[in-house]
Chains A and B, each alone.
Chain A
Amino acid sequence: MAVTTAEAGPSVWPFVRLKLRMLVNGWRGRPARTALFVAGVVLAGFFAVAGYAIFAIPGVVGDERAASLLLQLGGSMLVFGWLIFPLLFFGVDESLDPSRFALLPLSRRTLIMGLFAAALTGLPALSTLAATAGMVSTVADLGGAAAAFVQFVGIVGGVLICVAVSRAVTSAFATGLRSRRSRDLAVVLFAVVAALLGPLQLALLAGAERADWPAFAAIADVLGWTPLGAPWSLGLDVVAGRLWAVPLKLLIIVVTLVGLLRWWSATLERAMLGAASNGSSRATGNAGSPTGLLLGRRLPRSRFGALVARETRYWWRETRRRASLITFSVAGLFLPVSISLSGGAAGPMAVFVGALAAVALANQFGYEGNAYAANVAAGVPGRVEVHSRAAAHAVFVLPLLLLVALVVGVVSGRPERIAGDLGLLLATYGAGLGLVLPVSVRGAYSLPESTSPFALSSGGGLAKGFLTLGVMLGTLVATVPLQILAWVLGSVWLWIGLPVGAAFGCAAYLIGSQVAGDWLDKRAPEVLVAVTAGR
C-alpha cells in the first residue's frame, strides 16, 4: 500500500480534487440531494462509531480468543461486504466513470492510481477505516504500542484491499455486462439469488445452532491466512508472539493489492475501448400482422387490449419488473410453505402474500420512465389506464395466488382449506390494489434510466419506499375484518371463503381504481414529470 502511493507521486491529486469537487457539488445541489448527502454522512458516521465500538470490545474485556475470532471474522466480512456492495448498488456510484477519461492522454498506471486515490477519498473508505480503528484499540489493550502499530499498518492495508476489490469487481462486471441481453440476464439471476437469500439464511441459522465455537475459531484462523482476513490479524500475531507471521501476511496483502490493481487495470482498458457492437439483428421473418404480434390471439383489438398487451410484455421483458415478479414468486411460495410446515396459521400469511403482490405496482408509472408520454399524448382516459395495468399484473399474479393456495393446502395436509385460503388471498390482493393504485398515481417517482444492472433509485426513492410500507400496513388493516370473520366462522369459511373473499377483493379494487383513474385524469402531466429521470 505504501508502495502504491509512493509510485503514483503527485499525479493522483487532480483525481482526488475532482472527486472532492464532485462531493461538494453534490452537497450544494437541490434540497433532496443535500438531504441524501447528509443521510450518507450520518449513515457513514453511525457505521464508523458502531464498528469501532464492536471491534474495541474484546480489548476492553481482555479476551484474546474473542479478539482473534471477532477481528478475523469481522474483518473478512468487511472485505466481503465491499465485494458485494458495489454489485448491489451497481451504477449508483459512477462518480468517477473511467470512460470519461478515455480520451485524455493518461497512462494506464496514472489513471489507475488516480481512480484508486479518488475511490479512497470518500465516506465509505473513511468510515471503514474509522470502524476498523477499533481493532487497533483492541490490540493495543492486549499487546501494547508495538502490536497496535502493526495492527494499524494492517488495517490500512485492509481498507486498501477493500477499496481495490470493490473497484476491480465493479469494473469487471461492467465489462462483462456490456450488452443489454447479458445485463438483463444478470438482473434476473440476481433476483433469483436475492430471493433465495431468505431460505439460505434460515439454513445457516439452523447450522449455527449446532456449530461449536472451536470450529468457528478454526475457520477464523484459516481466514487469517487468506487475503480476506490477513490484514486484520497482523497485530494479533504480534500479541500471540508469532512474529514470523507478520512479514508473510504483509506479503499476502501486497500481492493481493497488486493483483487486484492489475486486474482492475486490465478490465478498465477493455471498458474504455468500448463495447464491441454485436448488433446481430434478430430474425426478420414475416410473422403476422403488427396488431397480431402485439395482441396475440385472445386480446380484444381495442385500446384496452393494446394497453394490457403492452403491460404484459413489459412485465416479462423489462428486467426490473421481471425481477420483482421472480422475487415475489419465490417469497410468495416460500413464506407460507415454511409457516405452514412449522404449524402456523395460514391467515396472516395470506394477508402478507396478497399485499406483497400488490405493492409491485406502487411505482408502476416509474418503471418505463417518460415513455408514459405516449399515453398522455394520446389522451388515454385514467380509468382505462389503471384497469389495463391492473389487468396485466393480475394475469401473472392470479395463477401464482392459486398456486400458493394449492401448495399450502397440500403441504399442510389440509386440502379442504384451499378454497378459503384462496378467498383470503384474493381479498388481500384486491385490497392491496385498491390502496396501491391511488398511491401509484400520487407517489410516482423516477427510477434511474437503467443501462446498468442493479441500478437502484438514488434520490427520493427511499422516502417513497415508505409509501410502499404504508400500503402493506394499510392492506393488513383493511383485511382485518375478513381475517376475524374467517377465524370466527371456522369451518363455514371453508365454504363461503372463496366467494366472500373474491367479492371483498373486487369491491376494494373497484373503489381504489376509480379514485386512481380520476386522479390520473387530472394529474397525468404531473405523473409524467414525476417519472421523468434526471433533473
Chain B
Amino acid sequence: MTVPVQREGDQIPAMALRGLVKRFDTKLAVSGVSLDVPAGSFYGLLGPNGAGKTTTLSMAVGLLRPDAGHAFLLGYDVWADPSAAKARLGVLPDGVRLFDRLTGPELLAYHGLLRGMDATTVDQRARELLDVLELGAGNRTLVVDYSAGMRKKIGLACALLHAPRLLVLDEPFEAVDPVSAARIRDILQRYVAGGGTVIFSSHVMEVVERLCSHVAILSDGVLRLHGTLGAVRGDRSLEEVFVQVVGGRVSTGSELAWL
C-alpha cells in the first residue's frame, strides 16, 4: 500500500482510523475507534482524563502499535508504510520527553535535519519560530531547565518546523500561558487556512469551541459522538453536550448540603 488509491482533491481524509484497539494489561484503553478527519479541518478530540486520547493519537501517528485496526494518514497506512506517512506529519506527543539536554535552537535544528531539510531552511525557520513563540533565538538554556509551558512551545515548534500537511497535537495548550496560547491559536488557524489539517486533543471546552470545525468526544476508549461542531453541539453549549455524553453527574442540590 505505498500509493493511495485516489489522491486528487480533498477526497482522502487527512486521517482515517479504522477500528483501533489497545489493551494495557487488563485495561481496555481504546476499544474500536474509527474516525475520519477531513483534510483542511480543525479537529478537536475531546475527552475526560484517561479517556484514551493519548493512546488513540499515539496509535494514529505510529508511536504505539495497535492491537487491532488500521490508521491512515493522508491515505498512507501508518503501520504498513510508516516512512511515507510520517514524512507528511508533525507530532506533538504528550507525556513524552524531549531531547532536553539540547538547547532550544539545537533541538529545532535536530528536528529539522531529521526531517531531511537543508540547513539554511532549518536555520531560517528555526529562528523565526523561536522568535514568534518568544523562546529566544539566542537562548542557550537547556530544554531540561525550561518551564512546562516553554517545553510545550518548543515541542510545538519542532512539530511545525518541516511544514507538514497534517498536525497531530496532544494537549497543545496545557500549561501554556494565555498570551502564548493566543499566539499558538493564531498560528494554527493560519495553518488551517493555508490548507493544513490539525487534530488536537483537549479537555478544555472553550478552546475547542472557539477553534474547531469538527469535534469528536471520546470516553472510556469509545468514540461517543463526532461530526462538525454545529452538528455535535446542536443548540446547546458544547460543555452541556460533553457532560451529558460522558455521563457526568448532575448536581441534585441535596448532596453536600453541609458545605
Contact = CB atoms under 8 A, between A and B. Distances in A.
A223 interface: no
B140 to A, nearest CB: 5
A313 B114 contact: no
Nearest to A310: B110
B91 A293 contact: no
Given A303-B114, A369-B97, A376 B62 contact: yes
A244 B146 CA distance: 61
Contacts of B139: 281-282, 284
B127 interface: yes
B99 A374 contact: yes
A525 B64 contact: yes
Contact of A290 (B95, B97, B114, B122): B122
Interface string B74-109: 000000001100110101010111111111011011
A17 interface: no
B177 interface: no
A365 to B, nearest CB: 13
Interface in A362-400: 368-371, 373-381
A188 to B, nearest CB: 14
A379 B113 contact: no
Contacts of B89: 377
A301 interface: yes
Contacts of A305: 113
Interface string A291-312: 1111100000111011101100
A97 interface: no
Contacts of B93: 373, 377
Nearest to A277: B147
B63 interface: yes
A423 to B, nearest CB: 35
Contact of A295 (B95, B109, B138, B142): B109
Given A180-B145, A284-B140, A377-B63, A291 B122 contact: yes
B109 to A, nearest CB: 4
B20 interface: no
Interface string B144-183: 1100000000000010000000000000000000000000
Contacts of B86: 377-379
A214 interface: no
A522 to B, nearest CB: 11
A281 B110 CA distance: 22
Contact of A528 (B63, B127, B140): B63
B61 A377 contact: yes
A293 B144 contact: no
Contact of B97 (A286, A302, A370, A376): A370
A374 B123 contact: no
A379 B112 contact: no
Contacts of A449: 97
B115 interface: yes
A302 B115 CA distance: 9
B99 A286 contact: no
A387 to B, nearest CB: 15
A149 interface: no
The A interface, classified by DSSP as helix, strand, loop or mixed, is: helix
A279 interface: yes
A279 B91 CA distance: 29
A201 interface: no
A229 to B, nearest CB: 44
A287 B91 CA distance: 29
Contacts, number: 133
B101 A293 contact: no
Nearest to A379: B86
B72 to A, nearest CB: 16
A378 B115 contact: yes
Nearest to B143: A371
A526 interface: yes
Nearest to A305: B113
A247 B158 CA distance: 69
Interface string A305-324: 11101100110011000000
A379 B101 contact: no
Given A317-B101, A377-B63, A525-B65, A371 B113 contact: no
A305 B109 CA distance: 11
A285 interface: yes
Contact of B87 (A291, A306, A369, A379): A379
Contact of B99 (A293, A310, A528): A310
Contact of A379 (B25, B82, B126, B158): B82
B111 A279 contact: no
A289 interface: yes
Contacts of B96: 370-371, 373
A295 B82 CA distance: 27
Centre residue among B82, B83, B108, B114 by max chain A CB count within 10 A: B114
B208 to A, nearest CB: 24
A287 B140 contact: yes
A283 interface: yes
A322 B217 CA distance: 46
A313 B100 CA distance: 11
A187 interface: no
Interface in B25-69: 25, 61-65
Given A370-B96, A377-B63, 15 more contacts: A30-B25, A180-B145, A281-B139, A282-B140, A282-B141, A290-B105, A290-B126, A293-B103, A293-B105, A294-B109, A301-B113, A301-B119, A303-B114, A368-B101, A370-B97
18 contacts: A282-B140, A284-B139, A290-B106, A291-B126, A293-B105, A301-B113, A305-B113, A306-B110, A310-B106, A314-B99, A317-B101, A373-B63, A374-B111, A377-B62, A377-B91, A378-B86, A379-B86, A526-B65
Interface of A: 30, 180, 279, 281-287, 289-295, 301-303, 305-307, 309-310, 313-314, 317-318, 368-371, 373-381, 449, 525-526, 528-529, 535
